[in-house]
Amino acid sequence: MEDREVILDIQDLRTRFATNEGLVHAVNGISYQLHAGETLGIVGESGCGKSVSMLSVMRLLQVPPAKILADAIKFKGEDLMLIPRSEMRRVRGNEIAMIFQDPMTSLNPVLTVGFQIKEPLKLHMGLSDEDATERAAELLTLVEIPDAELRLNDYPHQFSGGMRQRAMVAIALACNPTLLIADEPTTALDVTIQAQLVDLVKQLQHELGMALIWITHDLGVVAGLAERVIVMYAGFVVEDALVDDLYGNPRHPYTAALLRSLPRMDGRSGEVLEVIEGLPPDLLDEPVGCPFAPRCSFVKDKCREQNPLLEEFAPQHNVACWIDINTGEFK
Amino acid sequence: MREEKALVRVENLVKYFPITRGIVFQKQVGAVRAVDNISFEIREGETLGLVGESGCGKSTTGRAVLQLHKPTSGSVYYDDVDLVSADGGTMRDLRRDIQIIFQDPYASLNPRMTVGHIIEEPLEVHSIGTKKERRERVKELLALVNMNPYFINRYPHEFSGGQRQRIGVARALALQPKFIVCDEPISALDVSVQAQVVNLLEELQDKLGLTYLFIAHDLSMVRHISDRIAVMYLGKLVELTSRDELYSNTQHPYTKALISAVPVPDPVMERERERIILRGHVPSPANPPSGCRFHTRCSIVEDICKREEPKWREIKDDHWVACHLV
């Protein structure tokens, strides 16, 4: 098994939102561990809870309407659920950093890029303005922005989309985080720019040795990046496996169907794509049974009544399903 | 090679958007060269994929073909009629034949209109049938896009993204068009829903003999649906050929980089394959580079590329490229 130290241990995280229409069950009890230096991909469609689960860990959700429940969220042994909100600032942006989806809205348009990179340096590391400027220029150089010293004085609108996302990476890396969470950082970018950013993050992770959680809906990006992948559906983790096992031997009907619904760049083409009929469940409903049951081709009566727990199918390969998808029968 | 009739023929199409300065006394100070002299044809019954990065002019091309943007110059022939010089009456009649499906199913349906009204509107505009007949036709159309005709009185907000896109498809089909521009119809949809819409579009093409111009930035889906693919960069076409030829015999360095940048959902292949990572970003179409527009990012650039614009030429049967070095 893993001999690296566990840095993040999420135990039974549940996140709810109180809305006018009722309670939204965004995250419904997820548990997993992340090891130092590990690259974890979290994959799922919109509304599956992949971003909300991370925002819950970071406590970046407004409470209320959000309600975050968990047995424990341990980061380097410290339970983040127990520390006060003000204390969370010590961790956030320092030990755990985050990059968001839209680089235009996550940078402050009225502050220079330099100011925004220097902010965490001064706040968490107590650097003087001079030292912070120097370090900020180093960071911009690290993310491969040319003429870094001059560009520190630029405002975000003077940067292209790809450069803004690089600047976000520079801010995130400012305090040498132990864990970097990237929430769909390439969704707003073009494929060639996406390839640049993925490459950059991979290389930086290799150099700096931080752990990385990469949230995406793109199964392609994760294939080239992650060591381990978690598949989420309707607020549940349905499969958790090493990347080769997940793509080579998917055990959950949702994962398998999702992989088959993608057109392939290699070879085969012109055939009808496999479709997952129906829609994800309405999160306003109290989850009963397996969340994928209404769309599953293997569904049995038991699936509609009891939700399967995430169980080990093979070493480091956990699946939440009653059925063995190779035989279509109960395990 | 199959010799089919060209349904749509685009010749030297140009679309510039003026950049103006001043509020009261506006003065043109430049132009965004969104589409800069491109020519291609779309054959009857085929799907032509048009791919490129954002800002390359692919959507503008689609709209200029339909005359939703009046082209700056050039011609668009539909069935041998030039749409650019056609008068209002002719154009109005032709609009029955040419339709569009928009990218964002949230923005392209009027939230205050019922689904029935949305789909009926084109029929109403062209005064087709009585109110009762139109209503029947709307129900047929809903059934055609695999939706329950019972939804006719609902509003768009009651539907998911995939369902809304079906409504957009039903509206486009209302006048029994022959040619549809699909402007990134699946980009806003979730992965598991994309396949539903793509399969629907393919099924309708078989059933109704439609011709598509399929605009997208997602190369893997374009490869799946297209017969031929055109690649655009900064207002210019750089390569156009059949789907299989484009992937097996890629000629233009930009096409190579674009194909290589698309992540493959297979970890083993991802580890093994060589990737071409383009440096820099797309230059501004208001001030494009001299010569070949790709020369600033090209890995095999030579002097001639900076001086002269490469010609759009057919290097072999039905394989068009604009590059000095192939």
pLDDT at B260 over 80: yes
Chain A residues with CB under 8 Å of B262 CB are 191, 220, 265
Residue B178's nearest CA partner among B95, B288, B251, B247 is B95
Specify the pLDDT at position A229.
93
- Cβ pair A165, A98 in contact under 8 A: no
Specify the pLDDT at position A23.
87
Of B162, B258, B264, the CB nearest to A220: B264
- Is B259 within 8 Å of chain A by CB? yes
The listed range with the strongest mean pLDDT (B17-26, B184-193, B218-227, B228-237) is: B228-237
* CA count, 13 A, side-chain hemisphere, B83: 27
Cβ–Cβ gap A262/B220 under 8 Å: yes
Cβ–Cβ gap A191/B53 under 8 Å: yes
Q: What is the arithmetic mean of pLDDT over B208-225?
A: 88
Of A223, A274, A275, the CB nearest to B264: A223
Q: Say which residue, A271 or B82, is predicted with more confidence.
A: B82
pLDDT, chain A, mean: 85
pLDDT at B213 over 90: yes
Q: Which residues pair with A237 in a beta bridge?
A: A232
For chain B, give the percent of residues with pLDDT over 90. 41
Of A160, A218, A272, the CB nearest to B281: A160
In 10 A of CB B21, how many CB atoms? 10
Cβ–Cβ gap A199/B192 under 8 Å: no
Work out the end-to-end distance of chain B between its first and last CA atoms, rounded to an integer number of angstroms.
22
Cβ–Cβ gap B278/A192 under 8 Å: yes
Q: Say which residue, A228 or A262, is predicted with more confidence.
A: A228
Specify the pLDDT at position A150.
84
Cα–Cα dist B125/B108, whole Å: 18
Tell me whether 0.85 is exceeded by the ipTM: no
For chain B, give the percent of residues with pLDDT over 70. 99
- Is B192 within 8 Å of chain A by CB? yes
Nearest chain B Cα distance for residue A240, angstroms: 15
Q: What is the arithmetic mean of pLDDT over B187-214?
A: 87
**Model confidence band, residue A214 (pLDDT cutoffs 50, 70, 90):** very high
CATH fold label, B6-97+177-321: Rossmann fold (3.40.50)
- Cβ pair A92, A120 in contact under 8 A: no
Of B259, B263, B267, the CB nearest to A218: B263
Instruction: State residue B156 phi and psi, 5-degree precision.
Output: -55, -35
Q: What is the DSSP string of B171-223?
A: HHHTT--SEEEEESTTTTS-HHHHHHHHHHHHHHHHHHT-EEEEEES-HHHHH
Residue A212's nearest CA partner among A195, A190, A227, A230 is A227
Nearest chain A Cα distance for residue B257, angstroms: 7
Residue B239's nearest CA partner among B306, B181, B323, B307 is B323
Cβ–Cβ gap A269/B223 under 8 Å: yes
Q: What is the arithmetic mean of pLDDT over A137-147?
A: 83
Chain B residues with CB under 8 Å of A162 CB are 281
**Model confidence band, residue B274 (pLDDT cutoffs 50, 70, 90):** confident
Specify the pLDDT at position B39.
93
Cβ–Cβ gap A273/B224 under 8 Å: yes
Q: What is the arithmetic mean of pLDDT over A51-72?
A: 87
Tell me the count of A-B CB pairs closer than 8 A. 126
Indicate left, alpha or beta for B52 from its phi (over 0: left) and psi (-120 to 50: alpha).
left
Cβ–Cβ gap A224/B160 under 8 Å: no
Of B191, B258, B262, the CB nearest to A217: B191
pLDDT at B124 over 60: yes
Specify the pLDDT at position B139.
92
- Cβ pair B204, B188 in contact under 8 A: no
Nearest chain A Cα distance for residue B172, angstroms: 23
pLDDT at A268 over 70: no
Cβ–Cβ gap B162/A276 under 8 Å: no
